[in-house]
Structure 1
């Protein structure tokens, strides 16, 4: 009886803290998000093993379906413009601004398992237990950011596969998460891949999360995010000498779109 009272008291206190304390609510929601990723990853690995599937972007279908359902638990809505630019089986490099690990919600809104969508991630993700194994089986592209020579080899492998597999390679050109608003300087890797492959670049812009999510302020609430897919930018005929101008032009268009689609208070020059 005493233990029952103790556990009931802990439960009541936890519920009160969840609804009255932003920090508690933030960690509870993010912790639940990580738990769901682990469950989805485990289910994906088991599904691949039991069906004897090979490593393939087609193995993303469970993650796509699950994340589209999970967003309702968090009250996140996505207003997507220009989705038609991604709804084909043509190879391309897709650039996306990177704000949080929660970007996965938006990516799964954009991905269609009928097309070969994959994402470029840091190699260390491979070693995150069952999540790393699941991403590997879903044909995620891993780059070693600390070994330049190896990273170049890995990018060359993407170039070799992008046409044969008709890959839509999603890349975060900032190279890391940006919690400060606007966008960090872009790295050139994605542009080299696109130019070497002679495939179009499709810029995709997520509006600011700040009004509904902030790691610094421990905010995590429901709300709407605008995702804007801009028209493809052709790279046919371009060479590596064209990359600096191409990078500046695309980054400028993405920053302008970010500022236009984000809440006024979230904009950053």
Structure 2
């Protein structure tokens, strides 16, 4: 049954991407003259990503704290990173922001092309020139009152533990004098299999948007960075402690 469901899911994903990308191009063309920040196209992309949760009986998503996200104010959203499924889950925020994502993702057919239409921010890991360009582009969007979203760990955690954070997001928040908004993800590690394509686990994903953190209250980037990381670790532990055990589920 899981094999059949997996075949149906991936087939639906592949076919739907063609149709939905055509819709993205149309929305981009229609809204370009009056929506220079691309908010409408981004919200359409949120629906595109969430569609795969709507049709997959194995995946469930709960979002708390969405009201804390700004619609027309700069902010740096930072989230822990457990799997590729994090991207689908975070689109469930249905709030305008620009992703910072690996440059190779922008080369993916349809999905990557849509990322280009949305003018998300590419990054080549470890490439100094790319990091400088990424920071400049993020400053551009923040100056236009558009939030950005980053994974400060830089890459996925394969053991579920929150890895050390890099400085970039916190440097941006301090320089642009805008809040950091911690976003805690749980349950996403079970969405997409690490090996193969068979969806063999039920995933109960939870997104918790935490209260904004004012960078002006901290003396330096390192102190701000570690404070936000501690908040995410503590909230993640709290949520996971409240989950039912397999015997209770």
Scaled to the shorter chain, the TM-score interval is 0.7 to 0.9
Map residues 85-164 of structure 1 onto 2, 5 A cutoff.
85-112=68-95, 116-163=96-143
> Could you tell me how far 1:70 is from its partner in structure 2?
3.1
Between stretches 37-46 and 91-100, larger displacement belongs to: 37-46
Between stretches 195-204 and 253-262, larger displacement belongs to: 253-262
> Size of the alignment, in residue pairs?
239
Secondary structure of 2:161 counterpart: coil
TM-score by length of 1: 0.76
Structure-2 residue corresponding to 1:166: 145
1:20/1:27 CA distance change after superposition, 3 Å: closer
1:83/1:123 CA distance change after superposition, 3 Å: same
Q: Distance in 2 between matches of 1:129 and 1:219?
A: 22
Q: Distance in 1 between matches of 2:148 and 2:206?
A: 21
Between stretches 144-153 and 208-217, larger displacement belongs to: 208-217
1:261/1:216 CA distance change after superposition, 3 Å: farther
Secondary structure of 1:228 counterpart: strand
* Alignment pair present for 1:78 and 2:67: no
Instruction: Note the alpha carbon deviations across 1:187-237, whole angstroms, 9 max, x for none.
Output: 111111111111100000011335665425955444422211111000137
> Could you tell me how far 1:254 is from its partner in structure 2?
0.6
Q: Distance in 2 between matches of 1:183 and 1:264?
A: 22
TM-score by length of 2: 0.81
* Alignment pair present for 1:196 and 2:175: yes
Q: Distance in 1 between matches of 2:32 and 2:46?
A: 17
* Alignment pair present for 1:63 and 2:45: yes
C-alpha contact (below 8 Å) 2:53/2:61 kept by paired residues? no
Q: Distance in 2 between matches of 1:180 and 1:35?
A: 33
Secondary structure of 1:129 counterpart: coil
Structure-1 residue corresponding to 2:214: 234
1:227/1:144 CA distance change after superposition, 3 Å: same
* Superposed CA RMSD: 2.8
Structure-2 residue corresponding to 1:7: none
Secondary structure of 1:182 counterpart: coil
> Could you tell me how far 1:95 is from its partner in structure 2?
0.4
Secondary structure of 2:147 counterpart: strand
1:91/1:20 CA distance change after superposition, 3 Å: closer
Q: Which runs of 5+ in 2 are unaligned?
A: none
C-alpha contact (below 8 Å) 1:118/1:167 kept by paired residues? yes
> Could you tell me how far 1:264 is from its partner in structure 2?
7.3
> Could you tell me how far 1:32 is from its partner in structure 2?
4.3
Larger radius of gyration: 1
Q: Which runs of 5+ in 1 are unaligned?
A: 1-18
